Amino acid sequence: MGTPAKAWPPLSPFQTGTRGRCPRCGQGHIFNGFLALRRECEVCGLDYSYADPADGPAFFVICFACVPSVVLALWIEARFAAPFWVHLVTSLPFMLLTCIPPLRPLKGWLVASQYFYKAGESRLKSGVSSPS
């Protein structure tokens, strides 16, 4: 028999994920670049193949950042009948600043939450009858 695995204390998915840290040890990194996930933690060796945040980060950004950005652009247009260049210096930077920076912390939080809550594919248990 091998040596027992180290017992890791539970870490907050919010604190580790939003900082891009490993959800198990809190020291290593999740990302290799801006949004690309590493294969494993360089400190504790946690394999990140379990992680699949899919379109979750983009969904949250669309709901909470893109909608206000579009509302701002429409308000500027309706209130001031602004020329195109005004939108280039107001609406476009506002949209980029509210949509791109949140993607990384949101993706990190979702990956860390999947580890913390042991999320996985749903499986049917055999021998369990369906409700009628």
pLDDT tops 60 at residue 78 = yes
User: What is the per-residue pLDDT for 48?
Assistant: 95
Can you tell me the mean pLDDT for 117-124? Answer: 83
Entry pTM: 0.81
106 within some domain:
yes
Indicate whether 3 pLDDT > 50. no
Q: How many domains does the chain have?
A: 1
Give the CA angle between residues 89, 70, 84 to the nearest 5°. Answer: 35
Q: Are 11 and 113 in contact (CB under 8 A)?
A: no
pLDDT at residue 132, rounded to an integer: 54
Is residue 124 in some structural domain?
Answer: no
Whether 4 is covered by a domain: the verdict is no
Q: Kindly give the interhelix angle for 91-99 and 67-80, rounded to the nearest 10 degrees.
A: 170
Residue range(s) defining the domain that contains residue 57: 13-116
Higher pLDDT, 28 or 7: 28
**Does 1 score more than 50 pLDDT?**
no
Q: 113, 107, 108: which is closest to 58 by C-alpha?
A: 107
| Core vs surface per residue 21-39: b (16+ CB within 10 A) or e | bbbbbbebebbeeeeebbe
